[in-house]
């Protein structure tokens, strides 16, 4: 098995960045989900505002989160989220662990993505492990993955939501994707994980299941 792909999502619910190298810390990939879209006391996500998936999140060279290439705290980013979320919508920087829906790391496998028969980006993984046969990931909870000096603890399968129904390029909705996940996968694809031993992951590095 190997590291097939690495992703981070600097702004929650926006498009992610594919990486060749990722620093894994106790709170997941460095730079992941540092900014959230908020209206009032509510965090807005693509579950209720799917047009957020059309905005590109990023990080500048100095680590500043970006929205469509513009600083997250600038006027262009502010206008972009108001256009989607309505008046009062704004961006908030939050580096706390509560910024994650479940755990800091989501791991998918190429075998499960192939069985799904849809673009793996719909699952919004941080790490895609390649060289995995079929639905072997379903037996991984309670075990660990090792790559170089990094160890990742596998906690549980991830229950999927309406976000999987949106094409990551066109935003066209296909409800059949989620229906298929419910019928064929009991509603769960990919793995909720935590970082057991921090370090550096690189695309192409070997991965061992412990």
186 lies in some domain: yes
Q: How far apart are CA 20 and CA 98, in angstroms?
A: 27
Tell whether 108 and 80 lie within a shared domain.
no
Q: What percent of the chain shows pLDDT beyond 70?
A: 100
Residue-range definition of the domain harbouring residue 42? 29-98
Burial of 196 (0-12, 13-18, 19+ CB in 10 A): middle
Kindly state the DSSP code that residue 11 receives in the 8-state scheme.
B
Interior angle at CA 152, CA 146 and CA 157, nearest 5: 120
Which of 72, 98, 124 finishes a domain? 98
Q: How far apart are CA 115 and CA 181, in angstroms?
A: 10
Is the distance from CB of 46 to CB of 163 less than 8 angstroms?
A: yes
Band of pLDDT at residue 164, cut at 50, 70 and 90: very high
**Which residue's structure tokens are 């879209």?**
37
Q: Are strands 127-130 and 105-109 parallel, antiparallel or unpaired?
A: parallel
Region 169-198 average pLDDT: 97
194 lies in some domain: yes
Q: For 7-50, what is each residue's pLDDT tens digit?
A: 999 999 999 999 999 999 999 999 999 999 999 989 999 999 99
Is the distance from CB of 146 to CB of 208 less than 8 angstroms?
A: yes
14 lies in some domain: no
197 lies in some domain: yes
pLDDT at 96 over 90: no
Q: The domain that contains 119 carries what CATH number?
A: 2.40.33.20
Q: For 143-154, what is each residue's pLDDT tens digit?
A: 999 999 999 999
Whole-angstrom CA distances from 91 to 11, 33, 66, 67, 84 are 9, 12, 11, 10, 12
Q: Of the candidates 156, 166, 155, 164, which has an alpha carbon nearest to the alpha carbon of residue 182?
A: 164
Tell whether 58 and 105 lie within a shared domain.
no
Q: For 43-67, what is each residue's pLDDT tens digit?
A: 999 999 999 999 999 999 999 999 9
Band of pLDDT at residue 83, cut at 50, 70 and 90: very high
Q: What percent of the chain shows pLDDT beyond 90?
A: 97
Tell whether 110 and 51 lie within a shared domain.
no
Whole-angstrom CA distances from 190 to 49, 96, 105, 208 are 23, 23, 10, 17
pTM of the model: 0.94
Q: What is the three-class DSSP state of 202? A: strand
Tell whether 23 and 39 lie within a shared domain.
no
Tell whether 79 and 110 lie within a shared domain.
no
Band of pLDDT at residue 98, cut at 50, 70 and 90: confident
Q: How far apart are CA 15 and CA 131, in angstroms?
A: 25
Is the distance from CB of 195 to CB of 105 less than 8 angstroms?
A: yes
Tell whether 113 and 200 lie within a shared domain.
yes
Is the distance from CB of 138 to CB of 169 less than 8 angstroms?
A: no
Alpha-helical runs (H) found in the chain: 75-85, 110-116, 176-185
Tell whether 94 and 196 lie within a shared domain.
no
Tell me the average pLDDT of the chain: 96
Count: domains in the chain: 2
Tell whether 76 and 121 lie within a shared domain.
no
159 lies in some domain: yes
pLDDT at 97 over 90: no
């Amino acid at each position: 098995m190997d590291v097939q792909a690495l992703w981070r999502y600097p702004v929650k619910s926006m498009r992610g960045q594919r990486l060749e190298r990722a620093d894994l810390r106790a709170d997941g990939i460095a730079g992941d989900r540092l900014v959230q879209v908020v209206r009032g006391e509510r965090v807005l996500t693509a579950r209720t505002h799917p047009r957020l998936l059309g905005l590109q999140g990023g990080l500048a060279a100095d680590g500043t989160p970006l929205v469509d290439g513009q600083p997250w705290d600038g006027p262009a980013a502010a206008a972009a989220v108001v256009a989607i979320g309505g008046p009062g919508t704004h961006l908030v920087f939050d580096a706390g662990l509560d910024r994650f829906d479940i755990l800091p790391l989501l791991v998918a496998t190429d075998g499960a993505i192939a069985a799904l028969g849809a673009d793996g980006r719909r699952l919004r993984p941080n790490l895609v492990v390649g060289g995995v046969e079929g639905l072997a990931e379903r037996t991984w909870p309670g075990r660990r993955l090792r790559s170089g000096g990094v160890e990742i603890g596998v906690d549980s399968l991830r229950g999927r939501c309406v976000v999987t129904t949106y094409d990551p390029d066109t935003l066209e909705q296909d409800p059949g994707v989620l229906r298929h996940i419910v019928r064929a996968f009991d509603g769960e694809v990919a793995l909720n994980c935590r970082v057991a031993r921090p370090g550096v992951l690189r695309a192409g590095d070997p991965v061992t299941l412990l």
